[in-house]
């Protein structure tokens, strides 16, 4: 008898073939990866962070290597929401026949709402992933995601102008991520994406200056995985909405661990930058890992460690 392994999971009524979703900013708009493998094997993917206006991004150098990870300070470089809708999504449709997660960034509540309202009308978009790790320009540059009240305000403003499920992407650079997740859920969030990058820095010993032009950047990669697992575990205990877990995931075993902590689906970030086949390989390896741990239905293990 051949054992059947069911890898399907459900995010706010959207069923995907498997929980593996390349994370925003590490997979572009998918078509570069489509040149090397059929990306339709993925559950979905999160497109590059989109802002209302085009952004050139931060000065270079933007990347610093670390033990078991990397620091990036790309600065949300993207062509702006109008160009994404007019050019990127139609190009993507030629290589990817599933719906995508649209990642949205903004520097004011009005910007978030406008950008989300535009992407909400796009048939290819299944979920709006609202990145609240951006500096709030009207509040001295503090990230929306570091303050529960600001996080709730963004959530409510986006929910008011959209029909699709809205997932808030949370920053781990906070004292209490649980209260922020709870504030988002109370304001109407359909789900939580977590965690975004930690804040890190490297200094070049020869020049005695920071490696990254912006001095600091987002620290990602396998080194942050235990932090991500801990935060997902804590938030799962406090909210009823689904969680997309991310932070250092690089193997099918990591997927299982993150789902046991409470994630319904996962995102793969830095691993895609190290190995372009990382997400594909995780999908391919899932059935073998499920067999090893006696799992026939992946959705049965969500929150299983609680």
Q: Token digits for 178?
A: 């649980």
Task: Report DSSP state, residue 87.
Answer: I
Catalytic residue among 66, 116, 134, 184: 134
Q: Which of 71, 72, 76 is nearest to 223 (CA)?
A: 71
What whole-number distance in Å separates Cα of residue 25 and Cα of residue 23? 6
What whole-number distance in Å separates Cα of residue 133 and Cα of residue 49? 11
CA distances from 25 to 33, 113, 277 (A): 13, 21, 16
Judged on CB neighbours under 10 Å (0-12, 13-18, 19+), 246 is: buried
What whole-number distance in Å separates Cα of residue 239 and Cα of residue 226? 20
The torsion angles phi and psi of 36, rounded to 5 degrees, stand at -110, -20
Q: Per the omega criterion (within 30 degrees of 0), is the bond before 107 cis? A: no
What whole-number distance in Å separates Cα of residue 214 and Cα of residue 165? 34
134 catalytically annotated? yes
Which residues form the catalytic set? 134
């Amino acid at each position: 008898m051949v054992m059947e392994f069911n890898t399907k999971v459900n995010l706010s009524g959207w069923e995907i073939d498997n929980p593996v979703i390349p994370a925003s900013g590490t997979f572009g708009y998918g078509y570069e990866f489509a040149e090397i493998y059929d990306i339709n094997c993925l559950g979905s993917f999160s497109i590059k962070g989109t802002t209302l206006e085009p952004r050139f991004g931060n000065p270079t150098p933007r990347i610093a290597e670390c033990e078991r990870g990397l620091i990036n300070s790309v600065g949300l470089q993207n062509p702006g929401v109008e160009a994404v809708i007019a050019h990127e999504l139609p190009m993507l449709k030629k290589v990817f026949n599933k719906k995508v997660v649209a990642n949205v960034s903004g520097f004011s509540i009005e910007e978030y709402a406008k950008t989300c309202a535009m992407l909400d009308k796009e048939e290819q978009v299944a979920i709006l992933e609202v990145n609240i790790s951006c500096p709030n320009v009207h509040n001295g540059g503090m990230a929306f995601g570091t303050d529960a009240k600001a996080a709730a305000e963004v959530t409510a403003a986006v929910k008011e102008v959209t029909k699709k499920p809205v997932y808030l992407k949370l920053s781990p650079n906070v004292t209490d991520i649980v209260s922020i997740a709870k504030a988002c859920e109370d304001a109407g969030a359909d789900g939580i994406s977590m965690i975004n990058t930690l804040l890190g820095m490297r200094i070049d010993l020869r020049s005695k200056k920071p490696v990254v032009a912006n001095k600091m950047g987002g620290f990602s990669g396998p080194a942050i995985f235990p932090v991500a697992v801990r935060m997902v575990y804590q938030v799962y205990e406090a909210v009823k909405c689904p969680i997309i877990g991310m932070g250092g995931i690089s193997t099918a075993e990591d997927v299982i661990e993150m789902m046991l902590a409470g994630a319904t689906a996962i995102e793969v970030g830095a691993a895609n930058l190290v190995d372009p086949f990382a997400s594909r390989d995780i999908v391919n390896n899932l059935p073998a890992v499920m067999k090893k741990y006696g799992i026939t239905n992946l959705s049965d293990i969500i929150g299983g460690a609680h």
